[in-house]
A = this chain, B = another copy of it.
């Protein structure tokens, strides 16, 4: 998903050290704990560079090292808890779990960040077989996937696009093999008490299981979950 060097998904910002550090953090977010060697392989950084950056991240509490393996640090826990939208994530998480149980697919919550979207909560399908896995913190484009389409459709300035108008009329979006080959998904908008778009709730899985029109089966459940999240927001 993320990689060092691609601005579209947060790769190159003009501050090289930051780009590398974020590359390391997103590697750990996506792949779980890793040794120094694993971080070197996963990021392509030179070994002493990765070592120095990891030590610095550890000094700041953004990374923790235990038994020779690095993982995301508890300072990110605190910052995540204080970031705008943390209460949305808190109320959404059990709803995503229930939606996962009902649809038997993975579910996610996306929020818009400028011209991209960020996965702020992810609950994966249980049991065996194929599953879609989106790591929390992953940055994805708006232009691909049903989640991106929903975040675009209910934005200011979307009025002129007939495709997005159709999405708004329907109240949800579906996509097949857009964000990722082999994956189909359905998304619905989550509105805040003020009526503004807050997030997109999404269920996703492999095309062979969901078919070429995943919305037929899942749209009702996904829209229902969005309504449920909205209800929990006003309590």
Interface residues in chain A, defined as those with a beta carbon under 8 Å from any beta carbon in chain B: 7, 10, 12-15, 17-19, 21-22, 25, 29, 52-53, 55-62, 64, 71-86, 89-90, 93, 111, 113-114, 116, 118-122, 135-139
Q: Judge whether B118 and A78 touch: CB under 8 Å.
A: yes
List 28 A–B pairs whose Cβ atoms lie within 8 Å, in order of A's numbering. Answer: A10-B61, A10-B75, A12-B59, A13-B57, A13-B60, A14-B55, A15-B21, A15-B52, A17-B17, A18-B56, A18-B60, A29-B82, A58-B114, A61-B118, A64-B114, A71-B83, A72-B84, A73-B113, A74-B83, A74-B84, A75-B113, A75-B139, A77-B85, A78-B118, A78-B135, A80-B80, A80-B83, A81-B137
As for how many copies of this chain the complex holds, the number is 2
Q: Shortest distance in angstroms between A168's beta carbon and chain B's nearest beta carbon?
A: 23
Q: Shortest distance in angstroms between A117's beta carbon and chain B's nearest beta carbon?
A: 9
